[in-house]
Amino acid sequence: MELWQQQLKASLTTPAQLAERFALDAAALEAVCARYPLRITPQYLDLIEEPGDAIWRQCVPDVRELHDDQAQVDPLNEDHLAPLSHAVHRYPDRVLLLVAGTCATYCRFCTRKRKVGCRGMEVSFGEVMAGIEYVARTPSVRDVILSGGEPLLMSDLLLKEILERLRRIPHVEIIRIGTRAPVVLSARITPSLCALLRQCHPLFVNTHFNHPRELTPEAMEACLRLADAGVPVGNQTVLLRGVNDDAATLEELFRALLKLRVRPYYLHHMDLVRGTGHFRTRLETGLEIMAALRGTLSGLAIPHYVVDLPGGRGKVPIVPESVEKLGDVAVLRAPRGERVEFPQYLCSDNPSA
Catalytic positions, written as ranges: 90-91, 94, 103, 107, 110, 112, 271, 308, 315
Please provide residue 27's backbone torsions phi and psi, each rounded to the nearest 5 degrees.
-60, -35
- Is 194 marked as a binding-site residue? no
- Is 118 marked as a binding-site residue? no
**Environment class of residue 227 by beta-carbon count within 10 Å: exposed (0-12), middle (13-18) or buried (19+)?**
middle
Q: Which of 347, 183, 164, 349 is nearest to 256 (CA)?
A: 183
Around Cβ 278, how many Cβ atoms within 10 Å? 23
In whole angstroms, give the CA distance from residue 272 to residue 208: 19
In whole angstroms, give the CA distance from residue 151 to residue 79: 19
Contact 328, 343 (CB under 8 A): yes
- Is 107 marked as a binding-site residue? yes
Strand partners, 336: none
Q: Which of 328, 331, 329 is nearest to 316 (CA)?
A: 331
Binding site feature residues for [4Fe-4S] cluster: 103, 107, 110
Binding site feature residues: 103, 107, 110
